[in-house]
Amino acid sequence: MTSSILTRNVQPLETPSFIHFLFNDRRASVLWLVVRVWLGWQWFEAGLGKVQNPAWMQTGEALKGFWSRAVQIPAEGRPLIAYDWYRNFLQSMLDSGSYVWFAKLVAVGELLVGIALIFGFLTFATALIAGFLNWNFIMAGSASTNGAWLVLAVLLIAAWKISGYLGADYFLLHRLAALWTPSKLKGWLGAPLPQPIK
């Protein structure tokens, strides 16, 4: 018995060729290089600006101001945060003064995400972190560029096999794959490098 999804003709449902190319073919890694480096540069610039700002790295006042505006419930109209549980979470972070240390985490995190994306270092995990940051910014009522960046992060995650191929993942991914491929675990440290693009 097959576990594949079948067509009406009882044939396995195949992935369309352009989808296979975009998310599995090494030749498409050039496209993902452009997306990855552009998105990484955006994160790097955003993080660098915060790391150089005392309101982020010393007092946390920049994040406190952002959270304070986000949790407000206006007398008329809709609040910035649509979900009460998320508003309560941010309010508890405000009440505990967590913005002082959390602002540093956000600033340094954005900078590191940018660097990792630019160099293609653990692209899947880095894009996941980037997407999580974007999701949180959106949940806090900041649309800005976060929606577009979130979509790009999701696409980099979907193309995880090749999105970092022209980067550090060329050297890392085939070794890390041994962690979820038991037959390759034995030779993890001595695994040969993948073949270059022809």
Number of H helices, E strands in the chain: 10, 0
Q: Report how far residue 61's alpha carbon sits from residue 71's, in angstroms, rounded to the nearest whole number.
A: 15
Cα 153 to Cα 33: distance, rounded to the nearest angstrom: 13
State the DSSP code for 53. Answer: -
pLDDT at 2: 59
User: Is 128 a residue whose pLDDT tops 90?
Assistant: yes
Does residue 196 register a pLDDT over 70? no
The pLDDT of residue 192 is 57
Q: Which helix (H) or strand (E) holds 100?
A: helix 99-119
Query: What confidence category does residue 115 fall into, taking pLDDT thresholds of 50, 70 and 90?
Result: very high
| pLDDT (0 to 100) of residue 183 | 61
| pLDDT at res. 13 | 79
Structure confidence at residue 153 (pLDDT): 98
User: To the nearest whole number, what is the mean pLDDT of the chain?
Assistant: 89
Contact 123, 160 (CB under 8 A): yes
Q: If you average pLDDT over residues 170-189, what whole number do you get?
A: 70
**Is the pLDDT at 129 greater than 80, yes or no?**
yes
Range name among 96-105, 142-151, 152-161, 172-181 with the lowest pLDDT average: 172-181
* Per-residue confidence (pLDDT) for residue 91, from 0 to 100: 96
Look at residue 178 and tell me whether its pLDDT is greater than 80.
no
Q: Which helix (H) or strand (E) holds 68?
A: helix 61-71
Q: Please tell me the predicted confidence (pLDDT) of residue 5.
A: 83
Q: How many Å apart are CA 155 and CA 31, to the nearest integer?
A: 11
- When comparing pLDDT for 45 and 197, which is higher? 45
pLDDT band at residue 187 under the 50/70/90 scheme: low
Tens digit of pLDDT for each residue in 15-69?
Answer: 889 988 999 999 999 999 999 999 999 999 999 999 999 999 999 999 999 999 9
Distance CA 186, CA 130 (A): 33
